[in-house]
Every structure is written in structure tokens, then in C-alpha cells.
A and B are shown apart, each in its own frame.
Chain A
Amino acid sequence: MREQVKSETFKGSNKNKGSMKIYISGLYSGTNPQPGVGIARSLRTAFPGAKLIGVEYSNRCSGIHWKDFDDIWLQRPWEEINLTTHAEEIRKVLDSGALWISSIDLEIMWFARVFPDGHPNLLTPAAAALEQIAKPAISAHEGLPVKIPTFVTTEISDWDLHAFCRQHDWKVWLKGPYYEAVRAGNWMEFEERRRILSKAWATEKLFLQTHVSGYEESIALSAYRGKLLDCVRMRKRDLTELSKTWAGDISEVEEDFLRPLREIIRKLDWTGGAELEMVRDADNQLWLLEINPRFPAWIHGSTITGRNMPAILVEGATGVRQQISPVLAEEFTRVVMEIPVRSEYPLSPLPEPLGGEIGHSLKHPSGLIQFASRLHKTDIFNEEITEENGKTFFNAPKVPASFIDDLDSFDLHEMQTPASLFLENTASGNFRSASELVKELSSDELNVTNAYSIKTNPDERLIKLALDSGFLAETISILEVKKAIQIGFKPEQLILNGPGKWWRQEILPEGKFYSIFCDSIEELEQVLEKLENGKTRTNFLGVRLRTPNVRSRFGIPIDTPEVFEKLIEAVRRIPKKYKFAVHFHMASSNVGVGHWWHLFESMLRWCNSIEALTGRLIEILDIGGGWFPEDLQKDSAENFKKAIALIPEFLPNVRRIISEPGKALAQPTMAVAMQILELRNSAETVTEAVVDGSIAELPMYFFFPHRILYQNAENGSWKSLSRGKTRLLGRLCMEHDIVASNVELPENAQVGDILVFCDAGAYDRSMSYVFGRG
């Protein structure tokens, strides 16, 4: 499309090409360039006689040396520039009849405030339009055939952020308010990258957005006063390491996209360039990532194909006819080239590397980050985001009522801290719910049974609860077998699993195990020998599988045809008197909930192949999850129902499913009480507090955030700590002994007050260690 532009809407002195003066700001030309140079090249093609003035805020931006600029208006960096004076100078420039095309998002936002009613020569969108395209919601997208990837603000509690990451399989991007996006594949990475981005952009207001796999494409457009003048689609055909365009092809925008786009531009009363950045997934669905309020850096690529967007904008604003750009190709690419440096702007020396650091720290040479920080102090960036697709979050995590009931039964001030607290009602409630769930899921054809993984927390109270709740017990050593038997389990209620299950076999008890799962083909051969020699007995004999594309050290790795064939041969050799079973375990809290369910289905397919190729029927399926409690509780019945419905499709002979909820059961059952030893203040804020607990009592601190409760010393009431700026330092004299970051202590917090770290009943307990106790 290309609109016929009406002549003479422009009021100014720029009525002919010769006298036309156009200011273009944003000339950074590194590997993540601004579009200023591309705009200048395009305008030079269309208006050879126009005077093009490049505007920059650092002489390190190499675009200032580009030959198409007749002049350079070099300003002081954003960090130090007097914005009031600069605004007045720009107003004079615009009043004189010159046009201004900005390539800098932050500058465009600032213009919207400086020129609330716009200016006919300022070719950038107004504040109201910018609000409508604000990331990540991009409310202006309504009507376009696109979806917005799920997102959430990082202002909510860490507990909820961790849940968001799990729900989206840790395929998430942490994004800055204007620029920058980094992957966060686990909690430690997330915490570190959030710290860096928050510090850089001087805000906690970042957001997490789900990754969309697919091919990137953009629509670049030109509009003046709500009229869409032209637009093109660009598909990225080569990318930089930062996924920025290096080559692309240009094509027409289809009518089903164009129609709503035209309407949106009209409603926004848009002026200027814009770019809609999108990803097209394998199902052909377009996902809108952002709308940039300016031309893209590749804009001259469009001009090469005969579609000169900057020129049609100038033509639309002034009525001055452009010289039509020739069609040179349908595709474009970039090259790296050296150009002469303007003698009036000689190169500056390189800054000194910071002591002990590598490199010269030249990112954002014009000081955009500092500019963002200055703008943050204004009111235009104070939008609240507390929703993810309609779901409201809070910055203090919710805590189940049973936690409070249990905690009220302790006199914490009389206890020696740090103290591990067993939340009895919570624990019994959890085991009861798990039992009820498997009863609900069982049928005449298929029995579903729970098993308690003793290693998760070998506390006798939990093992007893498992026994009383009709669980089997999963053991990984003969010592665990012995402990389970001591508590009341019978051998036929025990599952033997893991790579070192025969450790301490000299104390192997008499009796027949429920099931033995072998971790390798070699072990399968050994166990068969033991069984044949009468050294051990079992009802079911099985294998643990490690399906391809899974990072794990456990199970038989069937990622080569050779191993798979060996497995098939080994299973075929198992005497028929042993019933065959398969075990599959993967921590969903690490791989994500969606990915876990994919792995489960993948495992069913492998089992189906094994049955078909061996002629052995799989009668028991043992599935372990490493589930986060919330993930198992949340729609767990529904998810399990779906899973169980899927099993007969692949494995019609399975008669029993063993579910190992693992830490989903144990994690909420214990907490660690700590006492505040010291409060450290800075500018009237508590920035750090030292507690008498440590990572020795909370070793999983690095893997997930814990909910923290503060007990009011006067009335004993509990408060869930919300996000804040305080770090809680452990008592150990170790650099990494920080038990919580970004929490807010109540104003009346005092030395001696009690903090209770919840969610410490699984590996926090079983892997805790003695340290710094003399």
C-alpha cells in the first residue's frame, strides 16, 4: 500500500526540496543500532537537496560521521544535558520550519511531555498514543490478528515470580522498561539479571515475558496525523547475536492486517514512524512483542526495495514530493564498513577500564540509561502493572491459613533459634489430600497409589504419616529401607530406586520388595542375577528411563539407537515370572510444569515402543515429579485425570500408577524460625538485617524463594513480608550466606524479633548441615 499524499498540509518554510531542513536524532551505529543513519540515507535518496542535520548526544556514536548529514548538532550526553534549555532550543528549531524525526524511544517520550499538544514539524507520536503502545500490554493491538505473549511485572513477590517461571518452563525473558531483554533459565540467573537490569534502569519495574519460538518479522509504517501513509512487512533473514536484523526481505502487508492497522493508526492519531515487532510461530500465529514509536534501524532496507518510509512521512507532513526511490532488490543485507571520521569531531580516547575489570564499558555512550533514570523521577513512568492476563498479583505472597494455625502452637520466643518447626496440621492435611486425590483417580481398571520418597525428608513423623496414609515408600539405599521398616513399612511396601540402592547391602532385610527399578542396563543384569540366586526378591522389576533431550544423570539414556537396542534385548531376557515396570522422574520445579507434562507424554511413547518391541507388558508406571507444592495442588486433579486418561492409549496393560509427589508434600510441612540479631540502616531505611539462621538451615535458598512471616512481638500476629529493599544476612561468616533479598521488614521491626521462613520441609531440611557451631 502507499497512500496518495495531499499536498500542502505543512505550515513552515520547508516548501521546496532545496530549503528543507530535517533534524534526525539517534545516530548510534553499533551492532544494536539506532535508525538515524538509515533515515538519513533514505531521505537523501528522496530529497537530494534537503539539509539533513544529525542530532546526537555522544561523539562516540559513529553515525555522526555518516556522509549524508550536512551538519551535526552534537549535544551534551543525556546524563548532564539541561533538559529545559534543550527543549527551548528544539522548539526554536521546529518553529523555524525545520522537521524533527527522532530515533530514540526515550527522547520521543520526553517530547510527548515537552510538547503535549504536539508541533506540526515534530514527526513523533503524542503522549496519548505512546500510552496505548506501552510494553508489555500494548493495549493498542486490539483488532490486529496477533496475540501478546504472557507477561508479569517483577514488582510482585518473588514467590509469585518463581511460580510464573515454572508455569512457563523457565522459557522467559526478563525485560527492561524500554530496552534490553535477557533470558533467565533458573532462579539464580533471574535474581542476578534482575539486580543488574534494575540497577541499570534505576527501577524495579521490569517485566517477565514468555518466550515464543518462531521466526521474527516486523511491520514498519509511516503515518501522519492518524493517516497511515505506507507500511511494509520485513522478515528477518539473518540475525546478530542479539537477534537484531542483519538481513531481511520486504513484502506487502496483507489486507487482513492492514485494515485494522489503518484503524489503529487513525484512533491513535499517530504521527511518525513505527515498527511492530512480532514472532510467527510454527502454527502461523503472530505474537506481538512491541510497537516501537519510531522507524526501525533497518528502515533503509525498505528503501532499497522501493518503499521509502521516511520520505513518505516527510512528504505527508510537508506536501513536498519525494524523488521516487528505485527498486534495487526485494531483499537487503548489511555489511560492516569503515568511513572517514569528520575532522570537526575527532575520536575521543577510550575510557580507562575499571580496576580489575575487562573492557571499557561503552554501552549506551549517549547516557540513555541515565536519561531513563532522570525521566523516572517524573510522573510519566509510574504506571502500575499488577495483572497477568487478568490475574491479579500482590507483592506479598499469600500463606495458607494452616501455616498460621500451626505456628500459633509454638512459643517461638522461648525456643532456641534457629529452630526447625514441624507444621503438624499442614503436614497431615497434605498427606490426607494426597490420599483423597489418588482414591478419586483410581478406578476398577487402574489403581493410583502414592509413594513417599524418603530422601526428600527422612523425618520419622513424615514417614509415619505416609505409612498411615496408605503410601508406599521409595528408598534409595538399604539404610533407608531399614529406616522405613523400623517405622512400620513392610518390604512389600518398599520401592528400591536410584543409582546406589545396594549401598550397605550387608544389612539387606529379608522379604520381597514391591518393586526394584534399575538405573542402567548393567544394573538390570546384576539384579537379575541377584534374583535368580535368591539374594533378593521383588514383585516387580523395572527400569528407569532417561529420555533424549533431558539433562539428567539418572536412568538408562535411550538417546542412541545402540543403547535403545541393548535395552530392548535386556528387557526381552527378563524372565516372565517378574512383572515389568518403568520409572520416570524429572523435577518439574526445574524443567517447568508444561515441559514436565511433555516429558511424561514422551515417556509414554517410549514405553509404548518398548512394549511393542519386547512383547513385555508394562504393568506399573512409577512417575516422580519433584513438584512444587503449588503446581501439584493447582488443578492437580484435572491434570492427573488427563494424564491417566492418556495412559491406556499408549499402555493399555498398566494396572497401577505410582505417584511420587516428593517435595510437593514435604516442602510446606516445616519452617525455620530465625531471630533478628542486628538492623543496619542507611538513609532512614533498613538495608540489611542480620539473622541467626543461615544457608546451612536453608540450603535451597539459591533455588527458590521462601515465603517469610514476621511475628509482631506485641500482639503475636503474623505478616507475610512483601517486596522491599532489605537483604537478610545469615549468621555465617560466608560471603554467600544471604537468606533473602528484596524484602521489606515492618517499620517496627526490632532486634530479637522472629522471622519464620516457610517452605523449608523438603530438601532444605534433608540437606541442611552443621556449620559455624563450633
Chain B
Amino acid sequence: MYLDAGSNNLINLEMSSVAKAVPAFEKKRVFDKWKYWQPSQISHHGKICCEIAREWITATDFSELNGDCLYTGPRWLRQRFKWGASAFPIFWCEAVRRDTLDCGALAAISHEVFRVRNVKTYRVQVVQKFSEVAISQWTNSWNEGNEPLPWVNDDLIYHEGCAIETANRQLKVWDASAGWWLDPKPASGYGALLAIRVSGNNLPIGKILKWGKYNLQALEWREIF
């Protein structure tokens, strides 16, 4: 989940000025730490090496669909790649040869395969609640020095997925790391989704999308409760 790629693409706002603009009494929100993070990207060398890799992913995806509906989640990706740390920037030709990919890379690849399927697709960033035990495990397994992970904040984590738009502007949110669709229901406790943000190059600012009972405004974080 470490988003070096994301941080490369950070909107380089002058954080101090933003911070100064936030009144001291404003309620702290679960997504504050990652508010300006952008979704991870898979980079392209601009050469045939990356083009072969990208074509291989998207053509394999169609083969793996087995004739099912184009809205079917590409769970095969998770069978091919284990979830784990990825170094960014990561290029297509590297990504397809990795044993492990993080949520950002898996989400970026899923987004690409939906796009090639001609399904309307967006990037999704979420904040989820886990536990101290889970955070400790991830901290230990993701870096040897036990440095705090930038995608972790106490028992909250930053996570990425992708979304597809089906009939009537309804969204389905694909968790590419888990291989399941996220449930648009408020929850608390282990694994609960607390905030979500939908973005995408093709998504006009202000567009409203429906996710279960929630109206999500494009490019805006939304707390789920």
C-alpha cells in the first residue's frame, strides 16, 4: 500500500498554507492524513517492453473472463500476484513480473482492464479501520526497520481500489487486493470502511455517483457512517 507513486503525484500544495487555513477547532477527519494523496499509477517506459506487458495483462483479462459479464471483477489478478509491498515508481514491464503488488498497483491494473473492457471505471481511495495487531503485522512485514508506514495512522489505513459505473450512475467498488466488491454499508470495527474518494481523468469535477445509499461527489472525500 505504500504509495511512493502516489506521493510522486501529490498535488504539491503548500501544506503550511493549507494547514494555516484550517481552523484549529475544525473536526479531525479520518482521511485527513491522506487528503491530498493521488491514486497510484503504473508507469510506462514509452517502449515496447511496457507495451508488451500492458497488452499481456489486458488480453489475459479477456481470456480469464470466460465469457462472463464485463462487470465481473478481475479476481484472477489476485491469484497471479500476492498482496505485498511494491516499490514505486513501478513500470508495466516490472509489474507483470512481480510476485507481489500492493493495493495501489493492483487497483491501477484493475482500472486498466476495466477500461479496456469498455466499462466506465474510476480510481477509488478509501480509509479503513483495522486493529493494532494488524497494523503491527503490516509494519513489521512491510519494512525491516519498523518505520511507521505512511499509509497507516493509528488503527486506520489508506487503501486503494477501483470503481465501475453501471446502470443509473450506480458505482460498484472493486477491492483488487481482496478480490471482492466493497459493501456500501456503514460499519464499524475490523475492516470497516470509513471514508471513500472517487477520482479519474474522465470524471468531471462535481459529478455525483451513487454507491448504495450514498451520493459520492467526484474527487471529494466522503465519510461513511
Q: Contact flags (1/0) for B175-213 with A, using CB distance below 8 Å?
A: 000000000010000000000000000000000000000
What is the distance, in angstroms, from A642's C-beta to the closest C-beta of chain B? 15
Is A612 located at the chain interface by the 8 A CB criterion? yes
**Interfacial residues of chain A within 250-288, with CB under 8 A of chain B in the complex:** 281-284
Is B68 located at the chain interface by the 8 A CB criterion? yes
Is A213 located at the chain interface by the 8 A CB criterion? yes
- Which interface residue of B48, B55, B73 has the most chain A CB atoms within 10 A? B55
Prevailing SS type, chain B contact patch:
helix
What is the distance, in angstroms, from B19's C-beta to the closest C-beta of chain A? 39
Is A548 located at the chain interface by the 8 A CB criterion? yes
Prevailing SS type, chain A contact patch:
helix
**Contact yes or no, A564 B66, CB < 8 A:** no
Q: Contact flags (1/0) for B25-68 with A, using CB distance below 8 Å?
A: 00000000000000000000000100111011011101111111
**Which residues in A have their C-beta under 8 angstroms from that of B53?**
561
**Which residues in B have their C-beta under 8 angstroms from that of A282?**
68-69, 71-73
What is the distance, in angstroms, from A211's C-beta to the closest C-beta of chain B? 11
CA distance in complex: A561, B68 (Å) = 23
**Which residues in B have their C-beta under 8 angstroms from that of A601?**
62
**Interfacial residues of chain B within 83-117, with CB under 8 A of chain A in the complex:** 96-97
What is the distance, in angstroms, from A597's C-beta to the closest C-beta of chain B? 8
**Contact yes or no, B56 A283, CB < 8 A:** no
CA distance in complex: A564, B185 (Å) = 42
**Interfacial residues of chain A within 575-612, with CB under 8 A of chain B in the complex:** 594-595, 597-599, 601-602, 605-606, 609, 612
What is the distance, in angstroms, from A561's C-beta to the closest C-beta of chain B? 4
CA distance in complex: A296, B55 (Å) = 47
**Which residues in B have their C-beta under 8 angstroms from that of A559?**
60
**Contact yes or no, B69 A550, CB < 8 A:** no
Number of interface residues of A (CB under 8 A): 30
Q: Which residue of A lies closest to B64 (CB)?
A: A549
Number of interface residues of B (CB under 8 A): 25
CA distance in complex: A553, B166 (Å) = 38
**Contact yes or no, A548 B52, CB < 8 A:** no
Q: Contact flags (1/0) for B150-189 with A, using CB distance below 8 Å?
A: 0000000000000000110000000000000000010000
Interchain CB contact (< 8 A) of B59 among A249, A599, A609: A609
**Which residues in A have their C-beta under 8 angstroms from that of B55?**
564, 609, 612-613
**Contact yes or no, A284 B166, CB < 8 A:** yes
Known: A284-B167, A549-B63, A561-B96. A613 touches B69 (CB 8 A): no
Q: Contact flags (1/0) for A601-631 with B, using CB distance below 8 Å?
A: 1100110010011000000000000000000
Q: Which residue of A lies closest to B116 (CB)?
A: A605
A-B CB proximity, top 9 nearest:
A598-B67, A282-B69, A609-B55, A282-B71, A548-B63, A561-B96, A602-B63, A282-B72, A561-B56
A558-B59, A613-B51 given. 19 additional CB < 8 A pairs? A169-B67, A213-B72, A282-B71, A548-B64, A558-B56, A559-B60, A561-B97, A564-B55, A564-B56, A568-B52, A595-B66, A598-B67, A602-B63, A606-B63, A609-B56, A609-B58, A609-B59, A613-B52, A613-B55
Cross-chain pairs A/B with CB under 8 angstroms, 20 sampled: A213-B72, A249-B185, A282-B68, A282-B71, A282-B73, A284-B167, A547-B63, A548-B64, A550-B63, A558-B59, A559-B60, A561-B56, A561-B97, A564-B55, A568-B52, A598-B67, A609-B58, A613-B48, A613-B52, A613-B55
A interface list, Cβ under 8 A from B? 169, 213, 249, 281-284, 547-550, 558-559, 561-562, 564-565, 568, 594-595, 597-599, 601-602, 605-606, 609, 612-613
